[in-house]
Structure formats: structure tokens, C-alpha cells
């Protein structure tokens, strides 16, 4: 579907102006979307998992752990596949609140792609360099949108996600280094071309939903507070978008239609996307690990 087709459907949760801002800028932040009781339950689940991580070490299906993780000082960088780790995360992913926001941005037929719960700890451990998401999990079109839920208030100091306005309409930059290895971020030369100074911080109170188009250049910086910043991220696409490469972060629900109907026809966008590594062969840990190590 084109943005015009999508906007011709009446809005469900977002205002028409917020939907237009998303298509113009490639992102939007909308406060007050997630009801307080849902937010409280998600937070409680998040705490439960942070607590469980105390008894975990090394590589784990769900926990991406920082190098100094210990039972006394848990350091979980990411809860992978939260929708498989606990049914409540799937209930939220497939529920009306999130799928109606997705439908406002991808059209009435919505497909679920993946999910993660990122933690940004005080200090600069979980910096995320400038990147575009779709390079890692390309689709036949560029409808995929990441919807993030701020579990706590996020101001300038918490290391908010920052997006470059209009970059979703620009080129997709390579995320391979000069040595041919995946780096997961733009090169310094491309950063210089990407108008990064115009980036906008997606701040907002707990319950804010941020939406980032899959082509939008974004990053996130140091958490300068003494509190961890959790960010629950769900990825959706229009039903007529099909992944054409193996996903780096598959879940048992990936590809499920969570609202509306299955597509009869695929929508192909002619803008090219570089072929990512074969994740099933090379493995994928997390963006933090990939960006630090160049895989
Ligand atoms: O957790 C964050 O602040 C940013 C995460 C991000 O950009 C990503 O996972 O693609």
C-alpha cells in the first residue's frame, strides 16, 4: 500500500496529523498510548526477567548479557523474543492497542515480524550507532515499522532514540565494513552525508509509543542517569510485505497476521536493498554485539 492508500483509511488511534508526520519524517512519538494497567504489567514482567537473569550466564536463548553481568549486578542488554519468553508480551503485540497504531501506519492488514526488549544501563555500554533497520531484515517493500513502548519516562538524559527526519526517503546506506564484514552501522563517510545534525530525540513519558520506519536513520546515545532505560520494541509490516531473507531475530509468531486479512498479492517496491549476511549460517547475537565486534 502507498502512504496515500494508508491515509485514506480512517485513523484508529493516532491523529491524522500524527500519521502524516510519520510519512513525512519517517518517525513519530505519541504520548499516552499504552494504558497504565498494561504498562504496569509489562514493567512487572520486565522486572521478573531482570531478576531471572541473575541465575544465567553465557549465551542464552532469551538473554543478551553484557560482559560484566553477574548475579549481584545483572546486566541484560536485551531480552530477545519477549513474545516467546512470556505470553503476556505476545498478548500486547497482538492486542488492539498496538495493532491499531500499526494499522494507522501500515494499513488495515498487519503482519507481525519480531520483538525485543532493550535495556540501556547507566553509562555508555548500550550506545547504538547510526543505522537503518531494514538492511538486516529486508522485505519486498518498506512498510515495516518498529513501534517502541517507553516503559518509563524518557528525557534527553535517558539515551532516547534519535531519528534523522526525512532519511526514510533517502538512500539505504551499506552496513558492511570495508573488509566485507557486517558492522550494523553506517560508515564514517556515509555519516558525513546523512544530515545527522538534524536528528530529533524521541523523548516522552512512560506509555509513549514511538514509531520508526524501517528505512529511517537512527541511533541512541548514552544513558546519563543512574537508572536503567527499558524500551519494548515490536516490529510490524503491511500484510503485503514479505521478508526475502532469513530473519536475524525470528520468533514463533513471525509472519502472523495480527489484524485484518492475509494478502492476496505481494507489494514490491523497486528501491534496492543490499543483501544481508545469511543469519542462519553466520548467527546473530544482537545489535550491541554486532556493532562492537563487526560481528
Ligand atoms: O534501544 C535503543 O535505544 C535503540 C535500539 C535500536 O536502534 C535497534 O535495536 O535497532
Which atom of ligand 1 is nearest the CA belonging to 146?
Answer: 10
CA of 274 relative to ligand 1 center, distance in Å: 21
pLDDT on residue 242: 98
Ligand 1 centre from 287 Cα, in Å? Answer: 8
Q: Which atom of ligand 1 is nearest to the CA of 159?
A: 3
What integer pLDDT is reported at residue 134 of this predicted model? 98
pLDDT of residue 84: 98
* Cα–Cα dist 211/235, whole Å: 9
- How far is CA 220 from each of CA 41, 235, 294, rounded to the nearest angstrom? 26, 18, 18
Q: What is the largest CA-CA distance in the chain?
A: 53
Report pLDDT for 293.
59
Q: Give tens-digit pLDDT for 14-31.
A: 999 999 999 999 999 999
Atom of ligand 1 nearest to the CA of 120: 1
> Which atom from ligand 1 is nearest to the alpha carbon of 78?
1
Tell me how far the alpha carbon of residue 16 lies from the centroid of ligand 1, in angstroms.
26
Most ligand 1 atoms within 8 A of CB, residue of 46, 218, 229, 292 to mutate: 218
Residue 81 Cα to ligand 1 midpoint, Å, equals: 14
Residue nearest to atom 9 of ligand 1 (CA): 287
Protein residue with its CA nearest to atom 7 in ligand 1 = 219
- Atom of ligand 1 at shortest range from CA of 161: 3
Say if residue 72's pLDDT is above 60.
Answer: yes
CA 219 to ligand 1 center in whole angstroms: 7
Phi and psi for 78 in degrees, rounded to 5?
A: -155, 140
Pocket (CB within 6 angstroms of ligand 1):
118, 120, 128, 133, 161, 218, 220, 231, 287
pLDDT at 68: 87
Give the separation between CA 165 and CA 108, rounded to whole angstroms: 25
Task: Please report how the helices 96-106 and 16-25 are oriented relative to each other, as an axis angle in degrees rounded to 10.
Answer: 60
Q: For the segment 244-283, what is each residue's pLDDT rounded down to a tens digit?
A: 999 999 999 999 999 999 999 999 999 999 999 999 998 8
Q: Is the dihedral of CA 159, 79, 150, 7 positive or negative?
A: positive
Mean pLDDT score across all residues of the chain: 95
Q: Give the span between the Cα atoms of 107 and 143, in whole angstroms.
A: 9
- Which of 262, 247, 238 lies closest to 105 in space, CA to CA? 238
Rounded distance, CA 120 to CA 75, Å? 9
Centre of ligand 1 to C-alpha 120, Å, is: 9
Nearest ligand 1 atom to alpha carbon 231: 1
Domains of the chain, each with CATH number or no CATH: 3-293 (2.60.120.620)
Alpha carbon of 118 to ligand 1 centroid (Å) = 7
Alpha carbon of 71 to ligand 1 centroid (Å)? 25
From residue 184, alpha-carbon distances to 101, 129, 155, 265, 292 in Å are 27, 8, 26, 31, 9
In the 8-state DSSP scheme, what is residue 21?
A: H
Distance (Å, rounded) from C-alpha 260 to C-alpha 51? 37
Bridge partner list, 232 = 117, 149
pLDDT in tens, 78-100: 999 999 999 999 999 999 999 99
Each residue of 150-179: pLDDT tens digit? 999 999 999 999 999 999 999 999 999 999
pLDDT tens readout for residues 209-228: 999 999 999 999 899 999 99
Amino acid at each position: 500500500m502507498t502512504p496515500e492508500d494508508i491515509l485514506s483509511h480512517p485513523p484508529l488511534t493516532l491523529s491524522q496529523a500524527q500519521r502524516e508526520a510519520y510519512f513525512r519524517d519517517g518517525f513519530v512519538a505519541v504520548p499516552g498510548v499504552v494504558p497504565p494497567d498494561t504498562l504496569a504489567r509489562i514493567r512487572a514482567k520486565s522486572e521478573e526477567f531482570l531478576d531471572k537473569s541473575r541465575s544465567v550466564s553465557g549465551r542464552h536463548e532469551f538473554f543478551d548479557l553484557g560482559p560484566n553481568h553477574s548475579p549481584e549486578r545483572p546486566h541484560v542488554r536485551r531480552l530477545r523474543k519477549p513474545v516467546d519468553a512470556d505470553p503476556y508480551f505476545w498478548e500486547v503485540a497482538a492486542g488492539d492497542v498496538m495493532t491499531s497504531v500499526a494499522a494507522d501506519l501500515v494499513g488495515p492488514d498487519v503482519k507481525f515480524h519480531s520483538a525485543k526488549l532493550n535495556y540501556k544501563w547507566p553509562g555508555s555500554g548500550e550506545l547504538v550507532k547510526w543505522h537503518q533497520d531494514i538492511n538486516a531484515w529486508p522485505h519486498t517493500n518498506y512498510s515495516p515499522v518498529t513501534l517502541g513502548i517507553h516503559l518509563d519516562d524518557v528525557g534527553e538524559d535517558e539515551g532516547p532514540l534519535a531519528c534523522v527526519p526525512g532519511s526514510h526517503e533517502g538512500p539505504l546506506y551499506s552496513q558492511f565494513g570495508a573488509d566485507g564484514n557486517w558492522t550494523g552501522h553506517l560508515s564514517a563517510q556515509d555519516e558525513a552525508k546523512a544530515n545527522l545534525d538534524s536528528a530529533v530525540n524521541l523523548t516522552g513519558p512512560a506509555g509513549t509509543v514511538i514509531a520508526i520506519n524501517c528505512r529511517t536513520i537512527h541511533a541512541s546515545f548514552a544513558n546519563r542517569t543512574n537508572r536503567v532505560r527499558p524500551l519494548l520494541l515490536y516490529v510490524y509490516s503491511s500484510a503485503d510485505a514479505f521478508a526475502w531473507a532469513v530473519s536475524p531475530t525470528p520468533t514463533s509468531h513471525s509472519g502472523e497476521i495480527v489484524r485484518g486479512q492475509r494478502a492476496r498479492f505481494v507489494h514490491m517496491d523497486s528501491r534496492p536493498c543490499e543483501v544481508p549476511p545469511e543469519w542462519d549460517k553466520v548467527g546473530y547475537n544482537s545489535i550491541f554485539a554486532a556493532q562492537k565486534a563487526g560481528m
